[in-house]
Chain A
Amino acid sequence: MPITYTSGEQIEVYRFSIPVTVGVPLLALFLQAFVPRRLPFFSIFDLPLLVTIFFGMARRNPISGLFTGAAIGLAQDMLGAYPIGIYGIAKTVVGYFASSLGAKLDVENAGARFLVTLGFYLVHAAVYFTVARGMVNMTLHWSWGRGILAGLVNAFLGVALYFVLDKFKQRT
C-alpha cells in the first residue's frame, strides 16, 4: 500500500508501464463497445472516463492528464456516430483537472475517490452537453435524475476499479 501525503512537496507520483498505459484504455474502450450489446444496463457506465480520472489522479501531472484524456476521448469519438472531438474535449478537461486535483489533494482513500469521480462525471457531462449543443447543434436534453444516478453508479464502479488499477502503479 503506497504511503501518500497531502503535502504538495511530498506527494507520491506514480507511473505506469507502457502495456498498462496503452492496454488499460484500450480495454476500457473495448468493454464499453462490446458489453452493452450483451448487458444493456452496462451502457450507463463510462469506463473510458473512469480510466481517464484514474490515470490523471495517479500521475498528478496536468500535461500528462490532459493528453491522456484527449487520446481516450478522441478514440471514443472515433467509434461513435457523432463528429470527432466531443468526448475528446470533455475528457481533456477532466484529465487536466483530475491531475491538478491529484497534485493538491489526497485522493487515495475511497471516500475522496467517490466524491471526485462523482464530481468529474458531472463536469464531463456538462462539457459534453455544452459542446454538443453549442457546436454540433445536437438536441440533447439534460435530465438531473438520470445524470446524478449515472454519476453515483460510475462513482461506485470507479472506487472498485481504482483499487484494481492500483496494482499496476509503479513509484517514480
Chain B
Amino acid sequence: MESVLGRYRNLTILVGVLFLQVLGLAVQVKRSADVENTRLIRIWAVDTITPFERVLVWVQNGGSNIWHNYFFLRGVRAENRQLKQQIEQMRLEQVRLSEDAEQAHRLQQLLAFKEQLITKTVPAQVIGSSGSDLSRSIYIDKGSNEGVAADMAVITVGGIVGKVLRVYPSTSLVLMINDQTSGVGAMLEKSRLQGVLKGTPDGAVILERVMSDEQVAAGDTVLSSGGDQIFPKGLPVGTVSKVTPGREMFLNIQVKPAADLSRLEEVLVVTEKQEHNPVVDSGVRVRAADILAQRLPSVPEKPVVPATSASGAPGNSKVGATSQSTATAAKPQTPTGSAKPDAVQTGSAPSIVKVPGAKIPGGGQAAAVPGAKPASVPTIHSVGNGQPTASQAPKQTAPKAASGDMAPSNSSPTVSGSNSANSPKPATAGAKPPVSQPNPQPPATNDDPH
C-alpha cells in the first residue's frame, strides 16, 4: 500500500486536494444560505484586495477632479446655459407632475393602497468586481459601518443595479441584475404585465414568465414591480430591446438595463424604505398655476426709473423693494384707468396683490396693499405699472393701507393668469372696470387663491 501511494504520490495528492475542495463545496451548498460559513475567509480575501482598490480609486478620482474642476472648463458656460434652460423645462414638468401625483395620492388613499417610499440612501463608490467573467458582482466602499445590510437594493439615478449580497465592515458585495443567479420582480410599464428579470451567462438581462400571447414590443419600459420585497415598486429597470418566442409558451424578452452596469462608478444603497398610506395634504391647496408663477423665470431687473405718474404714488416705483417696504410705502390712493389690471378678482376685500417676480416695464412694481377693506372695490391682483391713478378708475374708495399690514411673506402668490407673472402688461388708458376674472371667487385673501 505504501509503495502504491509512493508510486502515485502526485496523483494521490491531487485527488486529496480535489476531494477536500469538493467536500468544502458540498458543505457550503448543503447549508442554508442564511448560515454563511465562509464569512471569515472571505473577509480575509476582501481585506487583502480592497484597500489597494480604494487607494487607486481615490487617486483616480483626485486626478479626475483636479483636471475637470480646475483645468478643463471649456464649454462650461454653454453647458450652464443649457442646464438652466433644462431646469426651467423641468420646473414646468414638475408642476404638471405634482398635480398628477396629488391626484394619484387621493386615489390611492381612496382605495387604501399602501405606497413604498425610499426614505434613506447611502451613496457608495464602486471599487472593484468579483474578478470573474462568469459572476456579475461588484464591490462598493460602504459596509455595515455605514448601515448597509444584506438584501438592500442598490440603484443609480438611471435605474436599479442589484442587491447587496454580502456585507463586510467597510465593503459590500453587490450582486448585479445581470448575474445569472439574480432575480428581480419586474413589470412592463404600459401593459403592467409582470415577470421575473434574470441575468444570462453572457451578461444580458431577460424578462421571463411573460406569456407568448401578450403584446410586448421593443422599446417598452420595464419597471420594478416590488414583488421581490427588495426593490421598491416603480423604479426604472430598463427597456425592452428584443422580443422573440421562447420555450413553453413564454416570450423571450431581452431587456437593456437602464443603468449602465458595465460602467458603474457611484451607486445608492437603499438603506431605509417606508410603507405607509398616502397622505393627502388637506391644508391650503395651491393651484398649479400658482406654483408655475412662482417658478417661472422672471424678467431681468431694469434700472430704477423715478415715478412720473400724476398721482405720484410714493414708493410704488421702487424696484426690488421688499414686501414690507412696499407695503409701508403704499399710501391710500385711487386706482385709475391707467392702471389696467391684468386680472381682477371680484370681492369685498380689495387689495392689490404683489406678484413676486412680476417686474413692471418702466420700472414700476406692483404694490402690495393688503388689509384695506373698503366695500365694493375689487381685488386687483396685478397692476400694470404698479402706479394706479385715479383718473379713469371706476368709482372706488382707495384702500387704506396700514404700514406692515400686508400678506404674510409665506403666502402663496396669487396670479390670475400666467401673463401677469411673466410679462405684465403696461398701463394703458381707458382701463375697463376690473371684472375679468373668469371664475368669480368668494372674498379671497391673498393667501388663498380659491
Q: Contact check: which of A36, A89, A100, A138 meets B129 at CB < 8 Å? A: A36
For B131, what are the chain A residues with a Cβ–Cβ distance below 8 Å?
Answer: 29, 32-33, 36, 48, 76, 79-80
Q: Is B130 in contact with A33, judged by CB distance below 8 angstroms?
A: yes
For B53, what are the chain A residues with a Cβ–Cβ distance below 8 Å?
Answer: 30, 33-34
Q: Is A143 in contact with B133, judged by CB distance below 8 angstroms?
A: no
How far does the Cβ of A47 sit from chain B's closest Cβ, in whole Å?
Answer: 9
For A136, what are the chain B residues with a Cβ–Cβ distance below 8 Å?
Answer: 25, 29
Summarize A's interface: helix, strand, loop or mixed.
Answer: helix
Distance A43 CA – B53 CA, assembled complex (angstroms): 16
Chain B residues bordering chain A, tally (CB within 8 A): 50
Residue of A nearest to B19 (CB): A89
Q: Is A78 in contact with B45, judged by CB distance below 8 angstroms?
A: yes
Q: Is A92 in contact with B17, judged by CB distance below 8 angstroms?
A: yes
B247 in the interface (beta carbon within 8 A): no
How far does the Cβ of B278 sit from chain A's closest Cβ, in whole Å?
Answer: 37
Q: Is B202 in contact with A79, judged by CB distance below 8 angstroms?
A: no
B375 in the interface (beta carbon within 8 A): no
B316 in the interface (beta carbon within 8 A): no
Q: Is B25 in contact with A89, judged by CB distance below 8 angstroms?
A: yes
Stretch of B85-93, B173-181, B284-292, B407-415 on the interface side: B173-181
Distance A32 CA – B49 CA, assembled complex (angstroms): 11
Q: Is B24 in contact with A81, judged by CB distance below 8 angstroms?
A: no
How far does the Cβ of B177 sit from chain A's closest Cβ, in whole Å?
Answer: 13
**0/1 interface trace, chain B 40-53, chain A, CB 8 Å (1 if under):** 01101110110011
Q: Which of A66, A74, A82 has the most CB of B within 10 A?
A: A82
Q: List 8 A-B contacts (CB under 8 A).
A: A37-B264, A43-B132, A78-B44, A78-B46, A79-B131, A80-B130, A87-B132, A131-B22
Residues of A within 8 A of B (CB): 26, 29-30, 32-34, 36-37, 40, 43-44, 46, 48, 62-63, 66-67, 70, 74-76, 78-89, 92-93, 96, 100, 128, 131-132, 135-141, 143, 146, 150
Residues of B within 8 A of A (CB): 9-10, 13-14, 17-18, 21-22, 24-26, 28-29, 38, 41-42, 44-46, 48-49, 52-53, 56, 126-135, 137-139, 165-166, 173, 175, 179-181, 200-202, 262-264
Which 3 A-B residue pairings sit nearest by Cβ, starting from the closest?
Answer: A78-B45, A85-B25, A32-B131
Since A44-B133, A81-B181, A89-B22 are in contact, a sample of 9 more A-B pairs with Cβ atoms closer than 8 Å, ordered by chain A residue number, is: A32-B132, A43-B132, A66-B14, A79-B45, A88-B21, A89-B25, A92-B17, A135-B25, A140-B180
